[in-house]
Amino acid sequence: MREVEFPSAAYFSGYTQGNARSGETLEDARQRLLREAQGLLIESIRVTVRSRTESQTVSTRTNRSERIDAVFATKVETDTEVEIAGMNFDTPFVDPQTNVIHAFAWVNRVELSAYHIANMQMNITQAEGLLQTARDLEQNGEKIQARRQCEAAAQLIIKVRQSQDLLTAIDSSISAEGLQLARTEALQNQLLQTYARLAQAMIMHIESVENNFSRSTTLLTNRLRALLVEKDFSFADNTAQADFLLKIEANTRQHGVEHGLTVCYADVVINLFDVRRNRSVFQDEFSQKGISTTSEAAGRRALEDAAPTIISKISQWIE
């Protein structure tokens, strides 16, 4: 009867039945079985998406293409989260003769498709706006802010891919135009190109005065540069060529002895400037502990270990 009223060609559905458990009220049992029916509905959509995805992947590989169709690029995300709009359900029915509870939930494929088409188009439009803002910020030298706009756009593109996967599962005849594939591909290419430019463009200038027991050194700066290189930073010889200026003052002092080893501290003052904005964005002071066999070695350890601490403190401004 349900297949006649809710044919699978037009609906996704979930049905379950059962009895109230020991100590469970009739209403609690109804709600439990209704949740199970809704879960089965969602799982039926996931299975359909997964089946379509795997079928297309196999077909694409058979054709020896180097690239799986973009519609199916986010299979994992789609499998783990399916958003259902317009889900309906009957009040769970209790058979008076057997006390068996019947629960049924359904969603119309056309309504579900219309929701995800509208949602997909909205996310594409918003992502396009974010990327335009990112390009404007990039031209004005606001590279950190531009990167954040790109990150927000990337999250929206993931949602677009999820909608495209779902739409393809709901309607196998939907066209590339209906899925906005060309527009999405162009958007993703713009995102990657903008990311690449921003990654190459981050430049730091460091001004540092370091002393290890009155002896001038560059131990902290050297370690700091190595860590910044890992974050795709390059370095300028002067402030005018840089995105950021980092000023550092560091001096070591002896603290005492622990377990026969010398304990020293490096007292560090840092000041991070955003050169394009012409203002200081972060300032701090801290002391870094170092332990070794001699004062000089302990001071050296403290200065070198201060570098990752600095990175941690300024990361929200430079990433």
CATH code for the domain in which residue 73 is found: 3.10.28.20
Residues 127-157 pLDDT 10s: 999 999 999 988 887 777 788 899 899 999 9
Let me know whether 128 and 178 are in one domain.
Answer: yes
The residue out of 78, 108, 138 marking a domain boundary is: 108
The residue out of 200, 222, 237 marking a domain boundary is: 200
β-pair partners for 266: 252, 288
Let me know whether 228 and 314 are in one domain.
Answer: yes
Residues 63-81 pLDDT 10s: 333 332 333 333 333 333 4
Q: What's the domain range around 124? A: 111-200
β-pair partners for 159: none
Beta strands in 74-114, from DSSP E residues, in sequence order: 88-89, 93-94, 101-108
Contact 208, 218 (CB under 8 A): yes
Residues 291-312 pLDDT 10s: 999 999 999 999 999 999 999 9
Average pLDDT, the chain: 84
pLDDT of the residue at 207: 96
Read off the pLDDT band of 171 (50, 70, 90): confident
CATH code for the domain in which residue 308 is found: 3.30.160.150
Alpha-carbon span 290 to 310, nearest angstrom: 15
Structural domain total, the chain: 3
Residues in the chain: 319
